[in-house]
Amino acid sequence: MSSLPIDALSVIARQCIAASCLQRFCRRHGIGHPALSAFTDHVWKVAQLGAGDFAAWQQGFACLPITGMGDPWPDDACQAVPGHLRDTLTQLVQHVLETSASTWYGDDLPASRRQLEAVLRICRQHGVAVPELEQYAQHDASLRAGWGPALTDAEVIAWKALA
């Protein structure tokens, strides 16, 4: 269990942890589909958003086959998920999105924490190892209203390797 509280993490770190958890969940349960990969890849882009990039990134979710916003999934994506895990994976994807979305139009960091807690809880309930939060710590996590600094290319590579 991590000793670093979620509240010490930037929103970017929380979002990357959530994306890592989704990837671990899919790998653990042998789930793979291009629509899920597209969603996860898009989530990871949060790590390097510049000040002028946010709107396009946020709007980009609506263009994905799996949006994380409660929209129906493509039939072939549903068929790629074992029936007993469909509802759980749908909830997990929504919590992954909400880990940052809860702060998009305000600074609801407690809601972001609750969403990440839900991601971690689902993973634990389904035998998925959750990452150590300390691996995502940033000394300046409070910058940009809690979003923290954008990651360097090397940091993105290192964080993605934790998935």
70-83 burial by CB neighbour count: b if 16+ within 10 A, else e?
eeebeeebbebbee
On whether residue 153 sits in a domain, the answer given is yes
On whether residue 124 sits in a domain, the answer given is yes
On whether residue 26 sits in a domain, the answer given is yes
Give 77-142 as a DSSP string: HHHTS-GGGHHHHHHHHHHHHHHHHTTTTS--HHHHHHHHHHHHHHHHHTTPPPPPGGGG--TTTT
On whether residue 40 sits in a domain, the answer given is yes
> Total domain count for the chain?
1
Q: Residue 1: what pLDDT?
A: 57
| Structural domain harbouring 149 | 6-161
Q: Residue 144: what pLDDT?
A: 83
* Tens digits of residue pLDDT in 116-163: 999 999 999 999 999 999 999 998 998 888 889 999 999 999 999 999
Predicted model pTM: 0.95
User: Are the C-beta atoms of residues 12 and 150 closer than 8 Å to each other?
Assistant: yes
Non-local CB neighbours of 100 within 8 Å, separated by 6+ positions: 11, 12, 14, 15, 46, 112
Q: Residue 73: what pLDDT?
A: 97
On whether residue 1 sits in a domain, the answer given is no
* Tens digits of residue pLDDT in 28-67: 999 999 999 999 999 999 999 887 898 999 999 999 999 9
For residue 78, what are its two tokens? 């549903």
